Structure 1
C-alpha cells in the first residue's frame, strides 16, 4: 500500500494523545505506521494485549486508569485517544 493511500488526512495522527496511543500499539503489536483509523482488534490485538496497552497508557499518561472495556468500546486510535483525554 502506498504512503499516499495509507496517510490521508482522515487517518493522520493529529493530536499528541493519538501519537502516544499509536506508539504504544506499535510497540505492543509489533506493527509500524499505525494510523488514527486503525482498529486494534483488526490489527491482531486480543484481550491479553489490550491489558498491556491500557496499563502502558495509564503509566505514560497518569490519571484514572481505564479498563480493557474502554479499548473494546473505542477500538481505533482516534476513539481511544478521545476516551483517554475525556477521563
Structure 2
C-alpha cells in the first residue's frame, strides 16, 4: 500500500498548472522570476523568492483576485504553486 501512495505522489510531482488559478499564478511567477518552467510543485522560495518578491506577488494577486485572497502568512508557510492556488480558490469560495 505504501508503494502505491509513493507512486501516486511521484506521478503528481512536476505537473503543469491546470486550473485557471494555477495558470494565473504560474504566469505571475514567470513575470517575477523570468523563467518559464513553472510546475505545480515549484516552490516560490526555492525559485529565489524573498520578502520583496513576495510583496510583488501578493500585489499582483490582489490586482487579479481582490484584496485579502492570499495572506502573507500563507505564502511564507506554503510556498508551492499548487498549495497557493488552492488557498486562493478556497478564499474566493468564501467571499
Tell me which interval the TM-score lies in, with the shorter structure as reference length.
0.7 to 0.9
Please give the root-mean-square deviation of Cα atoms over the aligned residues, in Å.
Answer: 1.7
Equivalent position of 1:15 in the other structure: 19
Corresponding residue for 1:24? 28
Q: Which residue of 1 aligns with 2:54?
A: 50
Contact 1:36 1:77 in 2 (8 A): yes
Question: What TM-score do you get using the length of structure 2 for normalisation?
Answer: 0.75
Which residue of structure 1 aligns with residue 64 of structure 2?
60
Unaligned runs of 5+ in 1: 1-7
Query: Can you give the 5+ residue segments of structure 2 that lack an aligned partner in the other structure?
Result: 1-9
Task: Count the aligned residue pairs.
Answer: 80
Structure-1-length-normalised TM-score:
0.81
* Aligned position for 1:37: 41
What secondary structure is seen at the aligned counterpart in 2 of 1:58?
helix
